[in-house]
């Protein structure tokens, strides 16, 4: 496994190549499905300086071009670009079931039966199967198990952490709860700086509000318990294959407490190595002189 890699995915139709591509894309790979072998050398030269990790699917859909697959791999080796071959396969009965369920046509469809097509494809793939670095039988694998196999063979541990992007969004309950949030936390129980006229003009991004909100004992206890919960939840979401997690932090107006807590949590997750986006939906909304909410955007 390396931060710089070129992965060639091949194997039997119906064995899971499309699922492998989706998994690798979620993990940051630049992926191309169904490339014809003669394009490989030029494709590698074009993409490898720009993308650290590249995966391509090359299989019998390339028809007569696929007959050149082995010789094209031989042409690729002298160029000095390291590559690995992942070969996916499954039992005949599993492949038959998958084709019947999806009603997809086999690439070698013709006058022969589907079972005969599968046998013909095994024969066409025999030479490239011998060269494979990893041969993975997907017959009995669940989608989660399949993803774990891909990760264990081709992904560095730190890349797995980076594969989950977290969005931290502050908001005001008076303007509605964000519809795209996976987790929503209500911090309206914390002391409210809105009732201090000297603090009211500031936002949770300002030092004055952060010192007020974060300095109270109840906030310190909350953050200790809150980060413990986040430490437990986030890795489990990642292991389940989630690639984006949206956490919403709400207070009354979305201007003070929720902003300070959201910024604290965003910095905390960044230090843990997770790519984190920090958003403050209602920070520019503030009460007018009569206490009604006014949108300043």
pLDDT, tens digit, 9 for 90 and up, residues 177-198? 999 999 999 999 999 999 999 9
What pLDDT sits at residue 10?
94
What pLDDT sits at residue 265?
96
- Radius of gyration over every alpha carbon of the chain, rounded to an integer in angstroms: 26
Say if residues 129 and 140 touch (Cβ distance below 8 Å).
no
Domains and CATH numbers, the chain: 5-160 (3.40.50.300), 164-295 (no CATH)
**Residue 151 pLDDT > 60:** yes
Higher model confidence: residue 161 or residue 154? 154
What pLDDT sits at residue 189?
96
pLDDT, tens digit, 9 for 90 and up, residues 205-241? 999 999 999 999 999 999 999 999 999 999 888 877 7
Instruction: Give the mean pLDDT of 236-250.
Output: 87
* C-alpha span between 205 and 189 (Å, rounded): 19
Nearest to 160 by CA among 59, 49, 54, 242: 242
Q: What long-range pairs does 93-97 form, CB within 8 A, spacing at least 24?
A: 94/14, 94/138, 94/139, 95/12, 95/13, 95/14, 95/15
Say if residues 86 and 29 touch (Cβ distance below 8 Å).
no
Which region holds residue 63: left if phi is over 0, alpha if psi is between -120 and 50, else beta?
Answer: left
3-state secondary structure 221-289: HHHHHHHHHHHHHHHHHHHCCCCEEEEEEEECCCCCHHHHHHHHHHHHHHHCCCCEEEEECCCCEEECC
The model carries a pTM of 0.64
pLDDT, tens digit, 9 for 90 and up, residues 34-47? 999 899 888 888 88
Instruction: Give the mean pLDDT of 23-35.
Output: 88
pLDDT, tens digit, 9 for 90 and up, residues 91-144? 999 999 998 888 888 888 877 898 999 999 999 999 999 999 999 999 999 888
């Amino acid at each position: 496994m390396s931060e710089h890699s070129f992965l060639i995915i091949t194997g039997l139709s119906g064995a899971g190549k499309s699922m492998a591509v989706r998994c690798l894309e979620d993990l940051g790979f630049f992926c191309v499905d169904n490339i014809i072998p003669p394009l490989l050398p030029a494709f590698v030269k074009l993409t490898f300086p720009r993308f650290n990790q590249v995966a391509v699917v090359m299989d019998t859909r390339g028809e007569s071009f696929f007959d050149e697959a082995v010789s094209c791999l031989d042409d690729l080796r002298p160029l000095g670009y390291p590559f690995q071959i992942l070969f996916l396969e499954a039992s005949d009965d599993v492949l038959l079931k998958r084709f019947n369920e999806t009603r997809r046509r086999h690439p070698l469809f013709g006058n022969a039966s589907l079972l005969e097509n599968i046998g013909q494809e095994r024969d066409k793939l025999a030479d490239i199967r011998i060269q494979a670095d990893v041969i993975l039988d997907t017959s009995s694998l669940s989608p989660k198990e399949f993803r774990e196999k891909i990760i264990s063979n081709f992904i560095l541990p730190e890349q797995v952490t980076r594969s989950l992007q977290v969005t931290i969004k502050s908001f005001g309950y008076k303007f509605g709860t964000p519809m795209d949030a996976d987790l929503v936390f209500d911090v309206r129980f914390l002391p409210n700086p809105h009732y201090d006229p000297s603090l009211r003009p500031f936002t949770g991004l300002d030092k004055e509000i952060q010192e007020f909100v974060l300095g109270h004992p109840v906030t310190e206890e909350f953050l200790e318990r809150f980060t413990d919960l986040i430490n437990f939840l986030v890795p489990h979401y990642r292991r389940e294959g989630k690639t984006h997690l949206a956490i919403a932090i709400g207070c009354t107006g979305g201007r003070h407490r929720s902003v300070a807590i959201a910024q604290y949590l965003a910095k905390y997750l960044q230090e843990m190595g997770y790519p984190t986006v920090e958003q403050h939906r209602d920070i520019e909304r503030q009460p007018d002189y009569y206490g009604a909410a006014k949108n300043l955007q």
